[in-house]
Amino acid sequence: MKALDHSAFNLPEDRGAKSAAQLIATDEKHFAEIAGTLEQSITELTERLDAVRRLPGGGGPRALERDQEVHRLTSRLRTLRRFGLDLCLGRIVKDDGETLYIGRLGLTADDGRRLLHDWRSPVSEPFFGATHGSPTGLASRRRFRWTQGRITDYWDEVFTADGLEGNAALDDQSAFIASLGSNRSPRMRDVLGTIQSDQDAIIRAGSRGALIVDGGPGTGKTVVALHRAAYLLYSDPRLGHHRGGVLFVGPHQPYLDYVGDVLPSLGEEGVQTCTLRDLVPQGTRARPETDPEVARLKSALNVVKVIDSAVRFYEEAPTETMGLRTPWAEVWLTPDDWALAFDAPPPGTPHNESQEYILDEIASILADKHPADDNGDRPTPRQVRKSLRQTAELASAVNRGWPWLEAEDLISDLFTVPAYLRRCAPWLTREEIRLLQRGEQIWTLEDLPLLDVARQRLGDPQAAKRKMRQDAAIAAEAERRGAVADALLQAQDDFEGAVAMLMGKDLQDALVDEAARPTMTPDALAGPFAHIVVDEAQELSDAEWQMLLLRNPSRSFTIVGDRAQARHGFTESWPDRLKRVGLDRIGLASLSINYRTPEEVMAQAEPVIRAVLPDANVPTSIRSSGLPVRYGTPVELSDVLDTWLADHAEGIACVIGDPTFRPTPRVRSLTPALAKGLEFDLVVIVDPEKFGDGTEGAVDRYVSMTRATQQLVILSD
């Protein structure tokens, strides 16, 4: 990057007053320093990255550290190259006259001066949180609007009389209000520089326990959720990638596509993002359940209890005595011995990874049963285990009492064998069990929690078998190298130094190259995670919550949602709901200002949701588009879209409720469910009365109406 050779400001003519030298000279000088430091930083980072990449690969901890350093350097380099000067969000002037510039990342000059303070650092908090009622030590604040790397506008707010003198250009709009009227795009636009104080307070809240962020349409819940994920990774060392990291769960893939740029723009590329479907391999082909009662029954199941009972059915120790011949003697396994061995796996060990513990315990039991030889010695458990490795009778008995299981087979059996389901879910009535039976194995969305919990409880049988083979190979390699050590000692018995060290078991074990073991690719979404952020959480069923709880033992959550947007109803309070699914240490934060939806639209949308949920958290709009909600008939759809496209060179529209409409580059076509969480300049709803009756229909209409940021058109027969 070249040093700054032009003004950072490119203000349009109608904002000429803001170009006054006394207003921007300080900024110009500071941006020149930033430009030079950025150029130097990019050069140094590139050289450092090249050097790290040239380091030997190898294996073990050093290779891991090398890969992590490559990732860290690459991520920072990518952010610096992506933004350049527009890393800077704005500046604050403290009441003692000190000026601080706030950025997406921190940036330090050669002499140690901070040119940019990371937006997540404590010193940056007043940039977002200061208000006229609580200025938090600020005299003034300036926010920049960047377009193609140059400032096309800025907004000043003054908190004291001293902050006004020669330092501020005052508008009748704040940066945030001005940004609300800008056109939408297929991706969520950058809003970091306009985070509001109520949002910032939630973003910076602590990570212990579960924090509920309750807010209606347009309150910035998604903005808060995404920025909070980036903030927590920066500020809380307990949540770092080495400790599990952060998982962000969205409602559907269009939503993840829409917000996909936000976290990288914040300099954070380490957050895993997914939908609930993504947590299970069968999610890509799962269909919605067609029978509402079956869907209700599956969603309400205590899936952990059901799956645990289903798996324990297959964990039954043999009840007969078995004789086994080893190279030293014939020994016997009694029913009590079997019971002791089958109780050996530590609590929480996946079923398919438990056979190793059982076989090790059997080897220990049998080693103790061997008579001592003339020297009082008995075979070690390791020797006994090796001698029994090819004993088909023992392997068969263990496999019968503790067989390898596949998650799909387990769940399929539950829904095809009534007696098995009755045993695992005894609280179900006969009629409910009959309803849950099915003939063909077609996975539904409601099956996914059962499949997921089963995978967690069972473990991957193929991975477990591979591990057994690898452990056996390592044991064989250790034995071979041990034989080499014995041969060396016999040939060089006059050495008392280095060669004699080979007698030590630790060194013999060290000769085995653990790094040579074939590695298994872990399931990136299996967890455990240190913190999970869940957006549109009001839609999660009891069974789906279990999928997330299994991945977060610390119970550290950010839970974002709106009871009024729950398609299947949400009559409980948030704390009651979360306590019921197993969360405690619950905090609640509420957002009540609608920054997105014009008041003309909310005036029409509010009665729709109040009719089914009188206590809905309907937010108050702070802006008007000047465009009343328009009504018409479906035959007008083409004319509405053609007129809007002709009048608007930018922006995007969405048609909701017409499955026959073919989308275009600037006009989406979505169902109410897939529109949730998104926003559009123009929303056209077709036949909303066909969305259904009751809560589900009302919620779909309310959600669809509140996607509009400028204009709403409703077309009905």
**Binding site residue list for ATP:** 215-222
Angle at 272 (CA atoms; ends 548, 580), nearest 5 degrees: 15
Q: Cα–Cα distance between 191 and 104 in angstroms, integer?
A: 12
Q: Collect all residues with Cβ–Cβ distance below 8 Å to 140 and sequence separation of at least 6.
A: 92, 93, 156, 157, 158, 159, 160, 163, 164, 167, 168
Question: What would the two tokens of residue 558 be?
Answer: 């950010």
For tokens 């061995």, name the residue. 341
Nearest to 639 by CA among 691, 716, 713: 713
Q: Cα–Cα distance between 300 and 163 in angstroms, integer?
A: 58
Annotated binding site: 215-222
Q: Helix/strand/coil (H, E, C) string of 632-697? A: ECHHHHHHHHHHHHHHCCCCCEEEECCCCCCCECCEEEECHHHHCCCCEEEEEEECHHHHCCHHHH
Q: Cα–Cα distance between 240 and 17 in angstroms, integer?
A: 46
684 φ/ψ angles, rounded to the nearest 5 degrees: -115, 115
Asked if 560 and 536 touch (Cβ cutoff 8 Å), the reply is: yes
Q: Cα–Cα distance between 387 and 676 in angstroms, integer?
A: 62
Asked if 457 and 350 touch (Cβ cutoff 8 Å), the reply is: yes
Tell me the three state secondary structure of residue 476.
helix
Q: Cα–Cα distance between 669 and 628 in angstroms, integer?
A: 23
Q: How many CB atoms lie within 10 A of CB 391?
A: 13
Tell me the three state secondary structure of residue 429.
coil
Q: Cα–Cα distance between 16 and 175 in angstroms, integer?
A: 17
Q: Which residues of 560-583 are buried (b: 16+ CB within 10 A; e: fewer)?
A: bbbbbbbbeebeeebeebbeebeb
Cis link prior to 528 (omega < 30° from 0)?
yes
